[in-house]
Chains A and B, each alone.
Chain A
Amino acid sequence: MAYRWTNTLTQADITPKAAYLNRRQILAGTVGLGAIGLAGGAQAQELEPNTLEEITSYNNFYEFGTGKEDPARNAHQLVTSPWSIKVAGMVDNPGDYALADLLDGLTVEDRIYRFRCVEAWSMVIPWNGIELADILNKVGVQSGAKYVAFETVVQPDNMIGVQRRVLDFPYVEGLRLDEAMHPLTIMATGIYGEPISNQNGAPIRLVVPWKYGFKSIKSIVGITLTDEEPPTSWNKANAREYGFYSNVNPNVDHPRWSQASERKIGGGLFASRQETLMFNGYPEVASLYEGQDLSVDI
């Protein structure tokens, strides 16, 4: 079932390692080539992946603190090996799976996705991951299951934010089954071809590119199939501000700030804003929400 979704970008678009390690140095040396870059088309330029440094040093992972640089500072304490995932609920083969067993035989693909945070910043991230549908099919989804619930690990001694009770931990998230089975939805295990860093959600995290970043739950230890909409952490914390769907939607503002535009990380002090795209630029998911009023189902 892998390769159901194809990037408009290819492997050649992935920044070479030497470059992503410090793109600013490279850019400094290639100012003269800037004009050629401009001719390359807005779309391609817009989807230039962020550097690994950017991706790993500006994170929201409240279990490790609320500052953007806190996860990079504190997440080394997360213990990711051994790792097992409890698969439960309406599945044919429930149980505690060692991570390697759960993923055994499944295909890891490169997926360069836009990533849009609910706080109105964005990145472009070259993930390596497995279609969630492949994992769900492997464990066998029973008929009648309508939702997938996810849970993040809690290691209180290693997670300073858990001790501070910023949210009601463990962090939980959920998707409707059709969202979970969509080919765009992946479980990421790597970035830039390397194992995903702890602050990015090691050893395995969800990536749903058309939804705000907080839906893409990190460091997953539980997957449960249910027939009822599962609770989700930010919705529990503030239902007025964070709905179950949380699709990227420039027409529906967060109550406290506009969602019409975003700032792509990496542009420096004078970076300009860019317009936020409906479904974060993934119109192929629109059919999932036919008949729904997305200004109500936020």
Chain B
Amino acid sequence: MTDTALPPKTQSNATKTAAALAAGDDSEGMSYLESLPRRLITLYLPLGIILLVLLFPFYWMGLTSIKPDEQLIDMEKYNPFWVVHPTFKHISKLLFETQYPRWLWNTMYVAVGATTLSIFASVLAAYAIVRLRFKGADTVGVLIFFAYLVPPSILFIPLASVIQAYGLFDSPLSLILVYPTLLIPFSTWLLMGYFKTIPFELEECALIDGASRWQILVKIVVPLAIPGLISAFIFSFTLCWNEFIYALTFLQSTPNKTVPVAIVNEFVDGDIYKWGSLMAGALVGSLPLVILYAFFVEHYVSAMTGAVKE
């Protein structure tokens, strides 16, 4: 078939991008024609400036979270770009004197719950659309794509009254049920791309051997689509962690909040010494995602580019 010949197919692209990202592609091209000073000006200098700007807020976040208070507010005596006697006061205050661990746990719980539900639903839906080819499968595929384009900003008000009606207000469970609407459309499209690359012949053999559709899905299709599943999982998890407006609207009491909402609402007390713990909170809240990302860069990138290209 033409699957491998077409550049924009998710699978081929995903692996290509991932491989290029992981190993660096060997297409040196015509770059040897350029002299070093020229490369310095046209490549390394602009790239260095952009990277510096992209990373500076994180450096600043990390630096502030270990700076003692007096160095934070005295910018004449101490150079603000460096720290003299780093302290873990802010971080320990965050972890032991606030409900931060609780908020972290809430975020984790919601992200894992919503992601698991979404992946389950998406695997079934993607398999049905791509392989069962039921009546109207194409229409359903297009509808799911449109669902991806519906932003939370226009849904949070009616959803708040739906959640209220179901009696789920102020419960993390409400987020576990609502987040899949953000994740399912994306994961389904991503997985459809992966499932398309699995040869039909494997399924036909299994059907002849008497396997049911469920058995085919669980024993043949899913194991072959593991990279796709990891991509969908990582990306969905990040989206859950990042989500703000639903969490802000649905959760009211302090112990039930997720990290982003709690950071914005609970630390803002007009105190000029808040910055240390605020930055520590932002840093600790970002670290789990950055660590996860470091382990699964290729999967993450293939999810991002795959979803856009498919």
**A and B pair up:** no
